[in-house]
Amino acid sequence: MAPSATETVTLPTRTAEQTTKLSVTANPYKELSPVGYSKKAEEEGAEGFSAAKYKNYLPTWGNEKYPALEPFEHRDHGLDADPLFPELLASGVTTNDLTPTIGTEVTGLQLSKLSAAGKDQLARFVAERKVVAFRDQDFADLPIKEALDYGRYFGRLHIHPTSGAPEGYPEVHLVHRGAGDKTAESFFETRTSSVAWHSDVSYEVQPPGTTFLYILDVPEVGGDTLFANQVEAYNRLSPGFQQRLHGLKATHSGIEQVEASRRKGGAVRREPVISEHPVVRTHPVTGEKALYVNPQFTRSIVGYKQEESDALLKFLYDHIAYGADFQARVKWADRTVVVWDNRVTLHSALVDWKSGQRRHLARIAPQAEAPVETPFKA
């Protein structure tokens, strides 16, 4: 049986030579892709459930290995965009803001038909609105290669070190819980909530920016995704507190995620890394400053003693988690593509749907620039 998508993992023993310490406030679990499922049941249907709609997107876990990621030059296409969005928001396109500061629903356009100028505008619009849900899209019906080529326009495609992927397409990160899977029930025997705020693979030297997630199979009700606006979270802090955060760096670790997969016999495509990133980063297009810490991958404040680091990170995590007034909840529906800016948001899937129903999504994550900080301005 596949492991729970938010299963708790045991922290490995650390040596004195480790370059970072693990914060006791950091939750050492992350949404882990299962390492096995009944492919026949997904292809043919079983236990009263229909077959998977997109069999070409069923996950596989190969033995392929990749070298460490090399730095690359990234220029955000939002810098080249017309800020009036004449192609993206042309006549006939309807927008509906979910909240004042984060989240918009868009209908009346096909992402797959956008020109290069339209894609530039998409990057900028998403940077401004943080997360955008595009309804009635044909994205999932494209050949997988075409979907990847589309994502590649926005940056080098990230290959996740542990997730399942369609056969032959490791650049696609699959979020898959098969029909009949009831492992969430065992998860809730020891946990009260499935909320797990994170920014995808923030441990990479150059984490993803403009990120695409599209639905393949959706539960009848539930399975929504929460998003938190890290720009507004920063703006809510007092100027004195903001200034204190500037100049600080935090460690982000991919070790626990990889070791959890290794213990389960899952994929380990690349050896894990630990990176240091500024606690406050600046978006290259909007110039906005955003908090850049998350409880899944951030481990400690560089130069702080453990108790000091824990206290500061706990405050920031609580501040983000309690900030319902700068969060948005995206409800999934058939043929939806959600695009968010991974640099200035956190998100969490919700494991709240009827046990045994299928939830199947695909993510394409173009990498962006290494996080940078600009000077504090009161």
pLDDT of 160-209, one tens digit each? 999 999 999 999 999 999 888 887 887 788 888 889 999 999 999 999 99
Nearest Cα neighbor of 93 from 82, 117, 109 is 109
Q: 10 Å Cβ neighbour count for 115?
A: 10
The residue among 100, 28, 24 whose CA lies nearest residue 309 is 24
Q: How far apart are CA 166 and CA 61, in angstroms?
A: 9
Per-residue pLDDT tens digits for 75-86: 999 999 999 999
> 177: helix, coil or strand?
strand
* Of the options 3.65.10.10, 3.60.130.10, 3.40.50.2300, 3.40.390.10, the CATH number for the domain spanning 39-69+78-364: 3.60.130.10
For residue 78, give Cα distances in angstroms to 114, 152, 230: 14, 15, 19
The percentage of residues in the chain with a pLDDT greater than 90, rounded to a whole number, is 77
pLDDT category of residue 126 using cuts at 50, 70 and 90:
very high
Q: Is 19's pLDDT higher than 50?
A: no
CB atoms within 10 A of CB 156: 19
Mean pLDDT score of the chain:
90
| Token pair of 136 as six digits | 């009635």
**366 within 8 A of 210, measured Cβ to Cβ:** yes
pLDDT at position 35:
61
Q: Per this entry, what is the length of the chain?
A: 378
Q: What's the pLDDT at 204?
A: 98
Please report which helix (H) or strand (E) contains residue 184, including its range: helix 183-187
Neighbours of 324 (CB within 10 A): 11
Task: Report how far residue 319's alpha carbon sits from residue 357's, in angstroms, rounded to the nearest whole number.
Answer: 33
Question: Which range has the worst mean pLDDT, 6-15, 206-215, 234-243, 306-315?
Answer: 6-15
Of 325, 75, 311, 365, nearest to 199 by C-alpha is: 365
| Residue 1: pLDDT over 50 | no
CB 23 within 8 A of CB 300: yes
Of residues 301 and 21, more confidence is placed in: 301
Q: What is the dihedral of CA 213, 215, 221, 224, to 10 degrees?
A: 0
Alpha helices in 7-164 (DSSP H): 39-44, 116-129, 144-152
- Average pLDDT for 252-266: 90
Q: pTM value?
A: 0.91
**pLDDT per position as a tens digit, 262-321:** 888 888 999 999 999 999 999 999 999 999 999 999 999 999 999 999 999 999 999 999
Query: What is the average pLDDT across 317-331?
Result: 98
Q: Which residues contact 236 (CB under 8 A, 6 or more apart)?
A: 319, 323, 326
Question: Would the pLDDT of 31 be above 80?
Answer: no
